[in-house]
Homo-oligomer: A and B are copies of this chain.
Amino acid sequence: MTRIAILGAAGYTALELIKILLRHPEAEIVAVTDLREGQPHVAMIHPSLNGRLDLRVENLSPAEVAARAECVFLCLPHGVSASLVPSLLDGGAKVIDFSADYRLDDPEIFAHWYDQKHGDPERLGKTVYGLPELFREQIIPSRLVANPGCYPTSTILALAPLLKAGLVSPKGIVVDSKSGVSGAGRTPRLTTHYPECNESISAYGIGRHRHTPEIDRFLSMAAGAPVEVVFTPHLVPMDRGILTTTYSRAAGDVTEEKLLDTLREFYADEPFVRVVDHLPGTKDTMGGNYCHLTARVVRGRVLTISCIDNLIKGASGAAAQNFNLLFGYPETTALF
């Protein structure tokens, strides 16, 4: 049994994480914190937890958290995580961080995209990226894991194997992603006010979305060459799900069969990635920790289509996968 704390309990990723952990036979949630005032009980923030998790929301110091919990999940804004991680690690806890604070390896790139100085630059580049399909062996012995972003997960799982195999060119990759509204968080804003975003699709953050350098970094690593994607996220009127369509130039004579074979081989032993022949929809992955993906060739261009649930495989499911790896539980525990 592992004692768990969740910092930043009010958001959607925390809620999904809690639901997964409640099904985990070896996880015990012992503390949840949040800064919102006047919400004493976790079931008052998340009515669906009524009668399922009897915990008060507390306001604890990192030392108090580390004293109580062996594993700490940080569902906190970018920048805040880096201010807490050193103390949590010093206190003896292992940490799984949902923010982007430890996903990049260069403090200057971080500063450029996140408009702030990094608060813990030493750990940058030394922290493992929590995508088990690519970095399982490095995750297992870690004490800090940078849980991947949702868009990067859907993109990297689709393209990394093809770049690694040299089937697509690292130059000029277009990533056109479509996300449900939960990806925008739980803070009410006009853009996510129901009558504004319902029955509407729009692009946002073109050329400046913060997941861009994260995608660049790990696709470059796969390609062994610098990759700079053109990344366009769109907001889709649905609760959850990401569908990512990528467009790359084929490297040589590439067939769909070759693409699908390469993907199938790469993910042959992976419990949560499904390479499919048909065109998947996000609903195929809704509520599960799966990525469904396929590939096509159109007029010499390679297309990939990948789907995930942004809150599960794109956040809390991946975090639970990492938790299982960090603490020696079967990787799929609580995730089927």
Contact = CB atoms under 8 A, between A and B. Distances in A.
Contacts of A247: 174, 176, 230, 247
Nearest to A278: B47
A66 to B, nearest CB: 28
A203 to B, nearest CB: 5
A305 B203 contact: yes
Interface stretch (A68-76, A90-98, A181-189): A181-189
Task: Summarize A's interface: helix, strand, loop or mixed.
Answer: mixed
A194 B201 contact: no
Interface stretch (A80-88, A99-107, A133-141, A232-240): A232-240
Contacts of A192: 188, 193-195
Interface residues of A toward B: which range? 35 or more
A23 B336 CA distance: 6
Contact of A286 (B48, B245, B288, B290): B48
Number of copies: 4
Contacts of A187: 193
Given A204-B279, A232-B245, A247-B230, A199 B286 contact: yes
A200 B243 CA distance: 9
Contacts of A287: 287
Contacts of A48: 283-286, 288, 290
Contacts of A172: 249, 301
Interface in A194-209: 194-204, 206-207
23 contacts: A23-B336, A47-B276, A48-B283, A48-B286, A172-B301, A174-B301, A178-B236, A186-B193, A188-B193, A197-B281, A198-B198, A200-B238, A200-B282, A201-B281, A202-B279, A203-B245, A203-B305, A204-B279, A230-B247, A230-B299, A232-B303, A235-B281, A247-B247
